[in-house]
Amino acid sequence: MSAPAAPPAQGSPAQASLTHRQILTIFAGLMIGMFLAALDQTIVATSIRTIADDLDGLSLQAWATTAYLITATITTPLYGKLSDLFGRKPLFLTAISIFVIGSVACTFADSMYQLAAFRAIQGLGAGGLFSLALTIIGDIVAPRERARYQGYFVAVFGTSSVLGPLAGGFLAGQEEILGITGWRWVFLINVPLGILALVVVTKVLNVPHTKREHRIDWPGALALAVGLVPLLIVAEQGRTWGWGSPASIVCYAVGAVGIALFLLAERRIGDDALLPLRFFRTGVFAWGSVAGFIAGMGMFGALALLPLYLQIVKGATPTEAGLQTLPLVLGIMSMSVFSGQMISRTGRYKIWPIIGLTLMIVGIGSLSTIDVDTPYWQVAIIMVVIGWGLGGNMQPLTLAVQNAMPPRDMGVATASATFFRQMGGTLGTAVFLSVLFGGLGPQVTDRFAAAAGDPAFRAAATDPAIAADPANAPILGALQGGAPLDFDDSSFLSAADPVLARPILEGFAGSMSIVFLGAAAVLVVGLFAVIMMKEVPLRTRSGVDARADEDGRSGDRPVAAPAEVPAPAAVPAVVTTDGLPAGGPRNGRAPTTDGAAHPSTGAGPQPTRHGAHAAD
């Protein structure tokens, strides 16, 4: 077919480049969306125990977390791929809408099974909130300039870390608010925030998007779900079922089959794959994914134990424990801003995840030395060090992946980096909690044996007044050969006699020390992966502008002089059904002056000043 040559499309450099004020306006919408998801995580974590008690499902509370985690993890790469095809704005609005609908549904839950189902709906939306926001940042801000805006997002996470535990503790502690049970407001509070996010995003989020021919990788998405759902279920429930139980083995088998089918589907569909396998031929993506997975495993696995230490060993309430982790937030915020500024000035980013992971290894390794008598100020200093490590590690790894991949794959590349970090965190949390409770019994037994020689402990164990207190019954019963202690419910420790409870607290601290040492050892592998990752020079153009270069619309590329080229209106452009000019480049054999993207990889000719993509 023939058509007149089109005028420059929206998204050309002259139109795609945004001013500082326009970027801040878009950031307003992104920040509200991210705050919605970040606040939900902290507020639910604080109140889930109260919710489970009210719904008579304490033993089922893990399913509410598992259901949310499954859907959020599976949809993360799907949002990334679909946003590359259809644009960021419609997908971001869809994610917010689904999240709000799930929040409303959670408000009406009458059982833990219902809550788990409604949390799964929430997860369908949450999977896009973080990854799409990070993708849009890559679209509108050049890697070298991103530090100017990084503080805004650090403020979002810092604020949610402070407000979440406070709001969760307050709402869950209320009998009723406006005739509605207090804990239901934990989910209901998302509704006005979500509506505000929808309004702001609809008005301000206008990122140029280039439409292209595509196929949606539904077989890959289905295979990924078949592979991940059983693996995530066993990761959360394996400790309860037993890692070698028949149910766990079935999950392993189904998961392995699903992953194999996913790899086959991705290989077959090629560039339109949910996670194109060609990504792993880029060394930065491959090593960055390994580093993100390992860092997520060590980071989330270790940090899951910090609230347990503060609440069980040190006796803090959930709200107090949340506030006591503020040094961690302070460390993350300060190092994120500092490392971002240094990256902006120097253009060097690889050193920061190396420093970050080293600090995390030192900090988490230091946690192995804390015990029942460790003063809080020492724990706070260690948390600051770990926070510095996280702050130097989180953003640079995402930045490295975004910078190394073709701009047209910004969405799926960013989502994939987020996906691997989430998977690592899920596995790390499950494995380290299993190690904690697996070693807790022997640790407590050893502590009770040591305490038997302590006159104060023997006196407490034989004191009639202490024996008459029902709060001490579980401990005394275990000492007298009765029912073993139930560590799934540690609430009795807060009311038990301190002398009798101390061996149990020491057992918890000892078992946690083993976990912290294991997490530090795992992070050494992540440090090796970062060292192996090649540092690609940072682009000085945003993702939108770089994508325009790939599509041949950039004024940076050398072009023929106007006198040598007939006027566009005088010469019709013949376009074939694949969108390329008749007689134009095929199979990547394009002239170096047109900036056209390679049809199989999406990678156009890369000027040296933009940074070549790493191949290994």
Cβ neighbours, 10 Å, residue 173? 14
Average pLDDT value for residue range 436-447: 82
pLDDT of 253 reads 93
| Residue 248 and residue 241 in contact, taking contact as beta carbons nearer than 8 Å | yes
Which is more confidently placed, 388 or 592?
388
- To the nearest whole percent, how much of the chain has pLDDT over 70? 78
CA dist list (Å): 291 to 397, 403, 420: 8, 16, 9
pLDDT at 191 over 60: yes
Is the model's pLDDT at 519 over the cut of 80? yes
Residues 6+ apart with CB under 8 A from 408: 84, 210, 212, 547, 550, 597, 602
In tens, the pLDDT along 362-388 reads 999 999 999 888 999 999 999 999 989
Flag whether pLDDT at 211 surpasses 70. no
Task: Provide the token pair at 368.
Answer: 């192995």
Highest mean pLDDT among 40-49, 325-334, 460-469: 325-334
Task: Please compute the mean of the pLDDT values over residues 443-465 and round it to a whole number.
Answer: 82
Q: What is the mean pLDDT of residues 96-125?
A: 90
> What is the band of 260 on the pLDDT scale with cuts at 50, 70, 90?
very high
Averaged over 350-356, what is the pLDDT?
91
**Whole-angstrom distance, CA of residue 584 vs CA of residue 566:** 17
Residue 359's pLDDT band, with cuts at 50, 70 and 90, is very high
DSSP string for residues in 31-69: HHHHHHHHHHHHHHHHHHHHHHHHTT-GGGHHHHHHHHH
Looking at residue 111, what is its pLDDT? 83
Q: Using pLDDT thresholds of 50, 70 and 90, give the confidence band for residue 489.
A: low
Per residue in 74-83, pLDDT (tens digit) is 888 888 878 8
pLDDT in tens, 557-577: 433 333 333 434 444 444 443
Domains in the chain with CATH codes: 10-204+213-217 (1.20.1250.20), 276-551 (1.20.1250.20)
What's the pLDDT at 93? 92
Residue 442, pLDDT above cutoff 80: yes
Quick one: pLDDT at residue 528?
92
One-letter amino acid of 98: I
Are residues 299 and 360 in contact, defined by beta-carbon separation less than 8 angstroms? yes
pLDDT of amino acid 104: 92
- Name the CA dihedral angle for 268, 269, 275, 276, rounded to a multiple of 10 degrees: 80
- Does residue 610 register a pLDDT over 90? no
Who has greater pLDDT, 69 or 256? 256
Least confident of 152-156, 208-212, 362-366, 519-523: 208-212
Q: Across the chain, what does the average pLDDT equal?
A: 76
Instruction: List the one residue out of 98, 45, 9, 23 whose CA is nearest residue 429.
Output: 45
338 pLDDT above the threshold of 60: yes
The two tokens of residue 396 are: 């640079």
To the nearest 10°, the Cα dihedral for 178, 181, 184, 186?
70
In which element (H, E) is residue 466 found?
helix 464-468
Is the distance from CB of 236 to CB of 69 less than 8 angstroms?
yes
At 312, list the tokens: 């069980």
Give 285's pLDDT tier (boundaries 50, 70, 90): confident
Stronger pLDDT, 489 or 50, i.e. the higher one: 50
- For position 376, what pLDDT does the model report? 92
In this predicted structure, the answer to whether residue 354 has a pLDDT above a threshold of 80 is: yes
Lowest mean pLDDT among 108-122, 156-170, 348-362, 375-389: 156-170
pLDDT score recorded for residue 75:
85
> How many C-beta atoms lie closer than 10 Å to residue 119's C-beta?
29
CA quadruple 344, 348, 353, 354: dihedral, nearest 10? -140
pLDDT at 392 over 50: yes
Q: What is the mean pLDDT of residues 427-455?
A: 81
- Per-residue confidence at 340, pLDDT binned at 50, 70, 90? confident
What local confidence, expressed as pLDDT, does residue 151 receive?
Answer: 64
**Mean pLDDT across 323-345:** 84
Residues 96 and 198: beta-carbon distance below 8 Å: yes
Q: Each residue of 597-608: pLDDT tens digit?
A: 333 333 333 333
| Band of residue 614 on the pLDDT scale cut at 50, 70, 90 | very low
Query: In the chain, pLDDT over 90 holds for what percent of residues?
Result: 10
